[in-house]
């Protein structure tokens, strides 16, 4: 059997975990949700959720992973057979999420390449962004080709293993991402009229904090921090026993949230300065932003930087997803990384093909009333990840008891952050109750 991978430094581990956390969720989900959901009021609630639920669950995932030192399915089984299902759910979630994430990643590759070419051509813009986008996504062949290119890039990194693939790539991509983000913020904030965007993002409106906004904030947080899917169990299992990882459970959620707010500062001041409507998701990324770059001095350079930044955010998340999807098969059946990674990636590509085609030939097909992208997102993000997060809080809070995590952390020094009582209370009561409340709310709103 191949030797188990291990991160070579704490910095590398943190970069990889942040890479998994920072992704499309931060860039095109958070800023818009914050803007529409009450500005600073939403951000405040989000931060409270991070402190009360995100941070304790992240600590649990790191502890489970490092203590078990195996993939998540075997890890759960080792601690309590009844919870094996949570590991299975996490692994299946990775298949669902990577299937649509990869398609979106493919779109990003297309735009990054387009802006890259534009750097050297006399036409430096995408003149009709709406038209360009519609033509691209509705053409099944091009959507599929770029999806495959993105998956090949992901395989290329993950096949290198934990140290030489995931860690190395994250150490390069993450600092560049932050650098580009800051350069773009400076540009965006100095446009005349930018202050309206800041108002959209931050102006507090507590009346917007309805149950559905709270639910949105909680699931946004799980997705953004990659919790409940076993990402941090998987990465935690590649940690050495010598590192004190308590600080990582603070740094990762913190930087993820900072990146989400910075993304808002990069995008919305420019959107408002140019008199465009705030949007989210694909239309924000692929239509509104190119429209901005069209009107901006050196728009092609900023466009290129922006799409490279998004590409890095997406890739550093997709490598985590592929590692999560593959680690059980690699370990349990003692298969070589070189063999299993391309196979799993190929399966996920097939699995994602309906998503890639759902903006063209499969446009009319609906599953449970949703298009393929929304359906995969619904199963992976809302159903399976929420279930995973609930399972962890029950396993640690009530079955193994918080002391297990505290003991694991105390191997490398005192348990510091917010104290043992805080951790025990949040993981036992706050996390499961909040998650259950949101689950009940969303089920009742669906009926
Ligand atoms: N956190 C990533 C994002 O915000 C998505 C992700 C989810 C990555 C689950 C890995 C695991 O886009």
pLDDT at residue 299, as a whole number = 87
From the CB of residue 46, how many other CB atoms can be counted at a distance below 10 Å?
A: 25
What is the whole-number distance in angstroms between the Cα of residue 127 and the centre of ligand 1? Answer: 32
Counting from 1 in the atom list of ligand 1, the atom nearest the Cα of 225 is 1
What is the whole-number distance in angstroms between the Cα of residue 226 and the centre of ligand 1? Answer: 5
pLDDT at residue 59, as a whole number = 95
Separation CA 175–CA 177 (nearest Å): 5
Express each pLDDT in 333-377 by its tens digit: 999 999 999 999 999 999 999 999 999 888 888 998 899 999 999
Express each pLDDT in 327-340 by its tens digit: 999 999 999 999 99
- Region for residue 9 given its phi and psi (left: phi exceeds 0; alpha: psi -120 to 50; beta: otherwise): beta
> Nearest residue CA, atom 3 of ligand 1?
23
pLDDT at residue 42, as a whole number = 95
What is the whole-number distance in angstroms between the Cα of residue 138 and the centre of ligand 1? Answer: 26
Percent of the chain with pLDDT over 70: 98
* pLDDT at residue 1 is higher than 60: no
Helix (H) or strand (E) holding 33: helix 30-36
pTM tops 0.85, yes or no: yes
What is the whole-number distance in angstroms between the Cα of residue 257 and the centre of ligand 1? Answer: 13
5 near 240, Cβ under 8 Å?
no
> Nearest residue CA, atom 7 of ligand 1?
226
162 near 238, Cβ under 8 Å?
yes
More confident residue, 125 or 164: 164
Q: Which residues line ligand 1 (CB under 6 A)?
A: 20-21, 23-26, 97, 223-224, 226, 229, 231, 317, 320-321
Structure token pair of residue 27: 């860039």
Structure token pair of residue 418: 């917010």
Structure token pair of residue 81: 């057979």
Q: How confident is the model at residue 4 (pLDDT cuts 50, 70, 90)?
A: confident
More confident residue, 49 or 211: 49
Place of tokens 């942040």: 18
Pocket test for ligand 1, best of 224, 316, 319, 324 (most atoms within 8 A of CB): 224
What is the whole-number distance in angstroms between the Cα of residue 25 and the centre of ligand 1? Answer: 7
Separation CA 154–CA 39 (nearest Å): 35
What's the residue count for the chain?
447
300 near 124, Cβ under 8 Å?
yes
Cβ within 8 Å of residue 27, ≥6 positions away: 260, 263, 267, 285, 310, 313
Furthest C-alpha separation in the chain: 64
Structure token pair of residue 214: 């709270």
Express each pLDDT in 239-272 by its tens digit: 988 888 888 999 999 999 999 999 999 999 999 9
Mean predicted lDDT score pLDDT of the chain: 93
Express each pLDDT in 63-75 by its tens digit: 999 999 999 999 9
Half-sphere exposure of 246 (CA within 13 A, CB side): 17
> Nearest residue CA, atom 11 of ligand 1?
226
Residue 414: alpha-carbon gap to chain centroid: 31
């Amino acid at each position: 059997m191949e030797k188990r991978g291990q991160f070579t430094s704490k910095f590398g581990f943190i970069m990889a975990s942040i890479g998994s956390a920072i992704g499309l969720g931060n860039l095109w989900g958070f800023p818009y949700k914050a803007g529409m959901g009450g500005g600073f009021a939403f951000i405040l609630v989000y931060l409270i959720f991070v402190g009360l639920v995100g941070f304790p669950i992240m600590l649990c995932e790191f502890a489970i992973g490092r203590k078990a030192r195996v993939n998540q399915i075997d890890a759960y089984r080792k601690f309590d057979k009844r919870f094996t299902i949570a590991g299975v759910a996490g692994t299946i979630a990775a298949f669902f999420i990577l299937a649509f994430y990869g398609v979106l990643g493919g779109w990003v590759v297309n735009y990054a390449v387009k802006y890259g070419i534009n750097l050297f051509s006399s036409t430096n813009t995408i003149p009709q962004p709406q038209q360009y986008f519609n033509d691209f996504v509705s053409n099944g062949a091009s959507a599929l080709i770029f999806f495959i290119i993105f998956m090949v890039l992901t395989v290329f990194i993950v096949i290198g293993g934990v140290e030489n693939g995931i860690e190395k790539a994250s150490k390069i991509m993450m600092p560049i991402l932050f650098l580009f983000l800051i350069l773009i913020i400076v540009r965006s904030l100095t446009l005349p009229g930018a202050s309206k965007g800041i108002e959209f993002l931050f102006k507090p409106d507590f009346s917007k904090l309805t149950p559905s906004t709270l639910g949105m904030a909680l699931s946004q947080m799980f997705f953004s921090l990659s919790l409940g899917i076993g990402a941090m169990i998987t990465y935690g299992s590649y940690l050495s026993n010598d590192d004190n990882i308590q600080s990582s459970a603070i740094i990762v959620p913190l930087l993820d949230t900072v990146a989400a707010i910075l993304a808002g500062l990069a995008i919305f001041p420019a959107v408002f300065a140019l008199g465009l409507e705030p949007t989210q998701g694909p239309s924000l990324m692929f239509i509104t932003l190119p429209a901005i770059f069209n009107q901006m001095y050196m728009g092609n350079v900023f466009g290129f930087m922006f799409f490279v930044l998004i590409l890095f955010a997406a890739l550093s998340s997709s490598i985590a997803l592929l590692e999560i999807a593959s680690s059980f098969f690699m370990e349990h059946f003692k298969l070589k990384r070189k063999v299993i990674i391309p196979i799993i990636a190929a399966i996920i590509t097939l699995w994602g093909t309906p998503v890639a085609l759902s903006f063209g030939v499969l446009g009319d097909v609906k599953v449970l009333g949703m298009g393929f992208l929304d359906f995969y997102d619904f199963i992976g993000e809302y159903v399976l990840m929420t279930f995973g997060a609930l399972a962890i809080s029950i396993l640690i809070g009530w079955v193994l008891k918080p002391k297990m995590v505290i003991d694991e952390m105390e191997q490398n020094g005192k348990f510091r952050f917010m104290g043992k009582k805080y951790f025990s209370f949040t993981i036992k009561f706050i996390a499961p109750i909040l998650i259950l409340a949101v689950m009940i709310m969303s089920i009742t709103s669906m009926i």
